[in-house]
Amino acid sequence: MTDETIDDWQPEVDERPTLLTVLCILTWLVSAYTLFTAPMSYFFSSSADGEQTMSDFNDAMLEMGENDPDVAELFEPFMDTFAAVVSNSIENAGMIFTTDMLIAVLSAFGAFFMFRLKKQGFWIYLSAKVASLISVFIFIGVNVASVIWASFGGFIGLIVIALYAINLKRMK
């Protein structure tokens, strides 16, 4: 044995992977963007007149029918779906605003925990993403537009969730 002392000893520190750091920062940026833009969306939607919007859609369909009946017949299902989405969005503007804000806060909160290497943050984030998909169908209804919207959001969310899941082994 030697009388050598080790002065540089440092406790083992869990180091956060760079990918996890980048994902958390991106999540915070998206959450902040949502927190800033959701109030504007709410005020624009709440000031819109649902009856006027439907009247405008009907006028557009009538004009299209007068100009080219075949094209009007082709676009009628799309216009009906779009009108339903706009109408439901206007009617549920307050609930959509509240839900968007809660989901943004939950996502940011989950990212904060994951940034601190806590596994519960992953489950909070996952819950927020599932809630956001379900809320689309609750507030807008089940139609082609909402399925496309939820599919796109779900695909992006699934990629981010998979990237977070890769880092689960580093979390406690």
Structure confidence by residue, pLDDT tens digits, 51-104: 666 677 677 777 767 777 776 677 777 777 777 787 787 788 888 889 999 999
- Phi and psi for 123 in degrees, rounded to 5? -70, -35
Q: What is the pLDDT of residues 9-68, one digit of tens each?
A: 555 556 889 999 999 999 999 999 999 998 887 777 666 666 666 677 677 777 767 777
Q: What are phi and psi of 17, to 5 degrees?
A: -65, 150
**pTM of this prediction?**
0.76
Q: How far apart are CA 172 and CA 157, in angstroms?
A: 23
| Sequence-ordered alpha helix ranges (H) in the chain | 18-47, 50-67, 69-91, 93-115, 120-140, 144-166
Beta-carbon contacts of 60 under 8 Å, excluding residues fewer than 6 positions away, are: 79
- Of 89, 48, 84, 80, the closest CA to residue 61 belongs to 80
